[in-house]
Amino acid sequence: MEEKIEAIRKSAKEELSKIENLQELQELRVKYLGKKSDLTAILKGLGALSAEERPKIGSMVNELRKEIENTILEAEAILKEKQLEKQLEKEKIDVTMPSKNLNIGSVHPITQIIDEVKEIFLGMGYSIADGPEVETTHYNFDQLNTPADHPARDLQDTFYITEDVILRTQTSPVQARVMENQKPPIKIICPGAVYRSDTLDATHSPVFHQVEGLVVDKNIKMSDLKGTLEAFAVKCLGPNTKVRFRPHHFPFTEPSAEADVSCFVCGGKGCRVCKGEGWIELLGCGMVHPKVLENCGINPEEYSGFAFGFGVERIAMAKFGIDDLRLLYENDVRFLKQF
Ligand code: DAH
């Protein structure tokens, strides 16, 4: 009997050393420890043995059972570990592999220009002001010294919501709102959308963008306006940019001017961008009209100011060489991708 048990130990050991997977291990467990195993048969047959042999053989069988059980558990742990390793190997992710080409958007050219303009004026100590796009005729016109019979107020030119509520035609009403709410010194710019009753074509759009500027303080002079705009033009359009001022008329400035910049593509020689002129019209500006200051509760005897306003699309078109305004609104990705 002892030899038989020894033989079972030997063969179990041998078979266990050849096991390659969990299934084989399970089969082995059944074979050596199951109900029909040799060891179980010996236990069942213990009754036939002599009284001295019985406990000895019984404990030998139980010991071997425990031994085999432990060896199987160890083998199982190792096999499981190996299986996990195999699986991990199979599912390995190479984090250094180049990613799929995601389509990442870009900042719209109009927003790019607005951001750049903001950055320049913030650097000169300005704050950013904001105002409503749905505006009253009071702020859009009256406060800005633009009387009821002024052509800018024509139904043909402006989107009326009611008789005295419109879509703002310019960012200039923000000037009046800021002056009413803030004591000088005032130094603000206001970028935003404006609306005109124009048909969309290569150079017109019923909605476009402006940047307004306003400075009010003691002793503000025309030379301050010129210096400021020159500094801005150089920063925005390049170090060799020159600025020229032409007399003009705006109801809310006196004197008023339009400012042109030397063409930053040809440097003033004349090219496609400046249409052979050498100059590009940039903005309207002037000294804030005393009546406007007064309308907004600022004493024109004590304070003076300058203001300016320009179109963002115009700068974007010139700077990026875009010849049709509509491209800026169609948002064709093939177009936008270029900026
Ligand atoms: N608001 C004017 C326009 O839309 C532009 C302008 C001209 C703004 C002169 C100003 C200014 O602040 O002083 O045509």
Task: Check if 191 has its Cβ closer than 6 Å to any atom of ligand 1.
Answer: no
Task: Check if 309 has its Cβ closer than 6 Å to any atom of ligand 1.
Answer: yes
At residue 21, the pLDDT reads: 87
Question: What is the Å distance from ligand 1's center to 309 Cα?
Answer: 4
At residue 103, the pLDDT reads: 80
CATH architecture of the domain with range 109-336: 2-Layer Sandwich (3.30)
Position 193 pLDDT exceeds 80: yes
pLDDT, one tens digit per residue, over 289-336 is 999 999 999 999 999 999 999 999 999 998 898 989 999 999 999 999
Atom in ligand 1 nearest the alpha carbon of residue 213? 12
Confidence band, pLDDT 50/70/90 cuts, at residue 39: confident
| pTM listed for this prediction | 0.72
Distance CA 293, CA 240 (A): 35
pLDDT, one tens digit per residue, over 229-247 is 999 999 999 999 999 999 9
For the residues 164-174, what does the mean pLDDT come to? 97
CB-based burial, 112-133: b 16+ in 10 Å, e otherwise: bbbeebeebbeeeebeebebee
Residue nearest to atom 12 of ligand 1 (CA): 308
Atom in ligand 1 nearest the alpha carbon of residue 286? 13
pLDDT, one tens digit per residue, over 127-150 is 999 999 999 999 999 999 999 999
Delimit the domains of the chain by residue range: 2-90, 109-336
Residue nearest to atom 7 of ligand 1 (CA): 284
Distance CA 282, CA 210 (A): 11
Task: Check if 135 has its Cβ closer than 6 Å to any atom of ligand 1.
Answer: no
